Homo-oligomer: A and B are copies of this chain.
Amino acid sequence: MTTTRDLLVDTMKQLLWERGYDATSPNHVLERSGVGKGSFYHHFKSKKSLAIAAMEARADELITEFDTVIATTQGDWLDKVSAYLRMPRHALTGCRIGRIVQDPSVIDSELQAPLQRYFGALQQRLSALYTDARNEGKLSAGCQPEGLATATLSIVQGGFVYGRAVSQDQAVNDACESFIGLLASQRLN
């Protein structure tokens, strides 16, 4: 059973993905969800508060997806990272959460918080993964784990941006695949 509140959050998640924050209006949410204006402002005090709820939910969802891929993929660090980089992506729509970071309103610290949490969580996990690999002698000692983690997250975000700019839906995959090739050269044993 889906409550009205949950319906609003789910609808906002979808619209934030499709149109970002600034370009999504309360009216869009109402039209798509079928909820009335009175209900909207009964459950949430503003567009911003609904967006925050939606982004927190999205962050949780994506962190869980990441953890699942890493945990269920057999093999060494490169196999796990490759599995993450090869997850199916909606290339032209963009990252379900990274898509909104350039919206002017998102400089606001409350709106930015879920983004920081999401990227911070993945950065930590990837850093730990690369650090362990290096300590076990399976990753070239010349690599800096934090930098590699930042690059890993950046290649995905940048692949989305580039792909949308040139309208080529295979661009994210190309960028990721090329990055995997470079990472493979750092694999030892």
What CA separation (Å) do A179 and B175 show in the bound complex?
12
What CA separation (Å) do A116 and B165 show in the bound complex?
6
Contact (A150, B175) CB under 8 Å given A22-B23, A158-B155: yes
**In whole Å, how far is A52's beta carbon from the nearest beta carbon of chain B?**
15
Contact (A151, B178) CB under 8 Å given A23-B22, A161-B161, A185-B185: yes
Q: What does the 1/0 interface line of A96-140 toward B look like (CB < 8 Å)?
A: 001111111100000010011011100100000000000000001
A144, B178: Cβ atoms under 8 Å?
yes
Q: Which residues of chain A (46-88) have a CB below 8 Å from chain B?
A: none
- For the complex formed by this chain, how many copies does it contain in all? 2
A102, B112: Cβ atoms under 8 Å?
no
Contact of A22 among B22, B119, B159 (CB under 8 A): B22
B165, A98: Cβ atoms under 8 Å?
yes
Say yes or no for A148: interface residue by CB 8 A criterion: yes
Contact of A186 among B103, B153, B171, B185 (CB under 8 A): B185
Say yes or no for A1: interface residue by CB 8 A criterion: no
Say yes or no for A169: interface residue by CB 8 A criterion: no
What CA separation (Å) do A99 and B151 show in the bound complex?
19
**Which chain B residue shows the least CB distance to A18?**
B104
Ordered by A's residue number, 7 sampled pairs between the chains whose C-beta atoms are within 8 Å are: A22-B23, A23-B104, A115-B165, A140-B185, A143-B181, A151-B174, A158-B159
